[in-house]
Amino acid sequence: MSRLQLLDLHIDLQRQRVERAGAALDVSGLSFRLFACLLAHGDRVMSYDRLAQEVWAPAVVSEETITQRIKLLRQALGDDSRAPRYIRSVRGQGYQLCAVPQAVAEAEPEAAATAPRSRRWRWAGAAALVAAAVVAALWWRYAATPSKSPLLARADYYAGIGQADNNERAIALYQQALAANPDDAAALIGLSRLSSARTCLYNGGRDNAERGLALARQLLRRDAENAKAWSAQAYAHDCLGDIDAAVSGYERALRLDPDDDNTRASLAYLQMEQGQVADALRGNMQLRGDPARVRFRDVQVARGLELLGFAEAARRRHQANFRLFPDNVFSNIAWPRSLFGARRYDEATAAVREALTRGTPHPDLYLLQGELALQRGDRAGARAAFAQALRLRPQSSLGITVNALYADTAPTPTWIAQRLAELRPSPAQPAPWPGLHLELAMLELARQRPDAAVAALDAAVAAGYRDRAYLQASPLFAALHGDPAFARVLARIDTDMARQRAQVASAAWKPADLP
């Protein structure tokens, strides 16, 4: 039995289809699973905890996540929370159906149809049929996503810590799981993400993110509607520098699973890189679940506020993140970088020094250390820092360029021209990140072409670059200070950030401590 009726709704559990008057309603994915769970329990009040256990487990979700999904389900059914027909809220308890769903059975034999039955028995029998129908129709769904094995649970635990050695422990456990079952979707996704993390977070080569991309694609060939696989593929593209493909993948994942906060925060990060700072901040402020479960969300909020000019609110967050999350690679970079942008160079130097003692050193910290050395006139110290950044990540384009520009022997004009030709975007190969244009500007300055350098910075702004403070603070662009064309580039950033700042200042979702 897989067909039910709830008032004027006809539900086919096996096909995951809901109809009214012969027209299909847009109830699918997580919304259908939630609806099926309510149907399975008749008109019983379902608590938040029970719904979380039966619909979302093993994931841990908040009441707000469940409330938002109920809202989406009601919208799909055409229900009104103020005068509900199908699903009502029970204050302080949870949700229940407004009527008992009825099983749609085949015609009964005549003798059975005429047999006397009490009204109470008729209700109990219908409820039992409904429950049995739901269980039978959804067995495949839960059988396909059983409670995770201890092996996968432990792998997830290590993956969530966010340190290089634990990343490797988790990879080994996912590989064990795949050795036992090469089609294990959870293990494929886990191994994909952590392989890409080797590139993004732990100074591994591009081949690791390419491996992550291949694993995600392997799963998507089998299950094109797997939201987590789309997110893993997007993360691999992100780590490989393909920002457009990453954005597209994250957006696809969110369409399939709007409650995936990690994907939402990842998309917000790329929106910020593209200059959509207000949109990125809104995404991070409107997560569906517990924001504390998204490791880099607080760092991104602080960064967004900083770019928008909410300096004091950003400073408080950056400083708190640096103190509270010593194992978070991005908070370790964000605070000294913020101090550098504020031209508090001595404090930035001390913060970089402390950050380098925590966990896996990131090449961005050594690049910043090199710029701080240049700021105080220590060219030898800058060379050593830039060289260390390149040793940590030999494939880094910026590391290659900066290391060459500040090496003991200056690069030849021929090398600079070849490097510009390699990096300069073309219609066939557009710039993957706005920051690439900054690298082009450095090379143009090295061959004494300030006009071309400013043009490159103007292209960076057109592509979404918005860090005015860095451009003013960095000694790498000191030769442009006082140039009217450079001032116009900064003014372009100011104009756009003033517009986005006003948008945030008037928004209902803005952080509570903003004016």
| Element containing residue 135 per DSSP (H, E) | helix 119-144
CB 312 within 8 A of CB 513: no
Q: Which amino acid is at 415?
A: W
Q: How far is CA 313 from CA 303, 363, 513, 514, in A?
A: 10, 27, 7, 7
Q: What is the pLDDT of residue 24?
A: 86
- 433 — alpha (psi -120 to 50), left (phi > 0) or beta? beta
CA 243 → CA 236, 267, 402, 412, 441, distances in Å? 10, 10, 23, 32, 21
Residue type, 265: A
Q: How far apart are CA 454 and CA 461, in angstroms?
A: 11
Mark residue 259 as left, alpha or beta (left: phi above 0; alpha: psi -120 to 50; beta: remaining): alpha
Q: Which long-range contacts (CB under 8 A, 24 or more apart) does 450-455 make?
A: 450/479, 450/480, 450/483, 450/485, 451/485, 453/477, 453/479, 453/480, 454/480, 454/483, 454/485, 454/486, 454/489
Q: How far is CA 205 from CA 119, 199, 240, 333, 469, in A?
A: 70, 6, 10, 20, 31
Q: What are residue 4's DSSP bridge partners? A: 11, 103
Q: Cβ distance 79 to 86 under 8 Å?
A: yes
For residue 155, give the H/E element and its range: helix 150-161
Nearest-angstrom CA–CA distance, 306 and 293: 23
**How far is it, in rounded angstroms, from Cα 415 to Cα 404?**
9
- Rounded to the nearest angstrom, the gap between the alpha carbon of residue 473 and the centroid of all alpha carbons in its chain is 30
Tell me the three state secondary structure of residue 172. Answer: helix
In the three-class reduction of DSSP (H, G, I as helix; E, B as strand; rest coil), residue 90 is classed as strand
Looking at residue 427, its pLDDT comes to 75
Nearest Cα to 243, choosing from 427, 112, 430? 430
Closest among 258, 28, 50, 54 to 147, alpha carbons compared: 54
Tokens of residue 383, six digits? 């060379």
What is the rounded CA–CA span in Å between residue 401 and residue 220?
Answer: 37
d(CA 475, CA 372): 8
* CA–CA dist 366, 462 (Å, integer): 28
Residue closest to 300 by CA, chosen among 327, 328, 323, 326 = 328
- Residue 133: its pLDDT value, please? 45
Say how far apart CA 515 and CA 144 lie, in whole Å.
49
**pLDDT at position 148:** 65
Residue 110: both structure tokens together: 């005549």
Q: Dig out the tokens for 245 from the structure.
A: 């493909």
CATH fold of the domain at 3-144: Arc Repressor Mutant, subunit A (1.10.10)
Q: Which two tokens stand for residue 61?
A: 């979700």
CA distance 421 to 418: 5
| E strand or H helix that includes residue 443 | helix 436-446
Q: What is the mean pLDDT of each run of 10 residues along the chain (515 residues)?
A: 83 85 84 88 86 75 82 89 88 88 61 37 41 40 52 86 84 93 93 94 90 96 94 95 92 94 93 95 90 85 97 95 85 96 97 89 94 97 96 90 94 96 82 88 97 97 96 97 96 98 95 88
CA atoms within 13 A on the CB side of 72: 21
Side chain identity at residue 446, one-letter code? A
**What are the phi and psi torsion angles at 467 (to 5°)?**
-90, 80
Is residue 220 within 8 Å of residue 228, measured between CB atoms?
no
CA distance 212 to 199: 10
Give the residue among 151, 161, 232 at the shortest CA–CA distance from 190. 232
Task: Note if the bond before 361 is cis, omega within 30 degrees.
Answer: no
| Residues 6 or more apart whose Cβ sits within 8 Å of residue 16 | 27, 28, 32
> What is the number of other CB atoms lying within 10 angstroms of the CB of residue 201?
19
pTM of the model: 0.67
Q: How crowded is residue 79: how many other Cβ atoms within 10 Å of its Cβ?
A: 19
Structural domain boundaries in the chain: 3-144, 362-409, 411-515
| Interatomic CA distance for residues 434 and 149, integer angstroms | 43
CA distance 492 to 154: 49
Question: 46, 35 in Cβ contact below 8 A?
Answer: no
Calpha distance 51→116 (Å, rounded):
37
> Tokens 């029998």, residue?
125
* DSSP-assigned letter for residue 412: P
Give the pLDDT confidence score for residue 120 in this predicted structure.
Answer: 35
Query: Residue 326: its pLDDT value, please?
Result: 83
- Tokens at residue 187, please? 């293990």
